[in-house]
Amino acid sequence: MAVKRDEKKMTDLTRQLRSIIAQIEALRVEIAQLDILISEYRQTITTLRNLKDLGAGKEVLLPVGRIAQVGAKLEDVDKIVINIGSGISVELPFDEAIQQIEKEIVAALALREALERAMVELYEKVEALSQKIREHGHAEAGEGKKDEGEQK
Amino acid sequence: MKESKSKELIEFLERLPEGRRIYLNLGSLMVEVSKDEAIEFLKKQEEKEE
């Protein structure tokens, strides 16, 4: 009876451990996606600044699908259309548009920090659970030896 | 969270000075809409989510 209870406890602990590891993995994926997003935002700011510096009249290539590009003339980069979410984009003056993207970067970095904190907490839980599993394993091994001794 | 995001966007649009172009992203198309139309769109989206 005690053996069955111990087995159940061990199974529960292992299940909890697997679940936490899965959560850590999910957080890791989310953080990686945020890193890509932050890097894209920074790249966007650089590109917009470069386009503004190049000025009106420059010839640019517009991508059409993955394989084709057509030439176009750049106008003044004074107004930028920014996607603000929920399927809405708005035209903003250059500086406001840059500020908007920087705000998005700050928000993404704050979210990243929160996810990292959550991951640290989960790692602590993994450590505690692993310790419990080790202790449980040792206790089981001890009981097994005791049983063998009694049988002899 | 999504609800507060929609509210935040509506407030953002309401504060936007007149004359700024606003677009709805419909698939690969961007359709120019008025401020009222954009706010209406967001309100409808919010209702659908509730």
User: Residue A149 has which token pair?
Assistant: 């001794």
Q: Note the pLDDT of residue A104.
A: 94
Sites in chain A below the pLDDT cut of 70 = 1-4, 140, 143-152
**DSSP characters over B10-43:** HHHHHHSPTT--EEEEETTEEEEE-HHHHHHHHH
Residue A91 has its nearest CB partner, among B5, B21, B24, at B21
Residue A100, Cβ neighbours under 10 Å: how many? 16
Q: What is the pTM of this model?
A: 0.77
* Cβ-defined contact of A89 to B25 (cutoff 8 Å): yes
pLDDT tens, residue order, chain B (50 aa): 344 678 889 999 999 998 999 999 888 788 999 999 999 999 988 888 77
Q: Which residues of A37-56 are buried (b: 16+ CB within 10 A; e: fewer)?
A: ebeebeebeeebeeebeeee
Q: What is the DSSP string of A95-115?
A: HHHHHHHHHHHHHHHHHHHHH
Q: Of all residues in chain A, what percent carry a pLDDT higher than 70?
A: 89
Per the prediction, chain A carries an average pLDDT of: 90
> What residues of chain B lie within 8 A of the CB of A99, using their CB?
none
* A70-102 pLDDT tens trace: 999 988 889 999 999 999 999 999 999 999 999
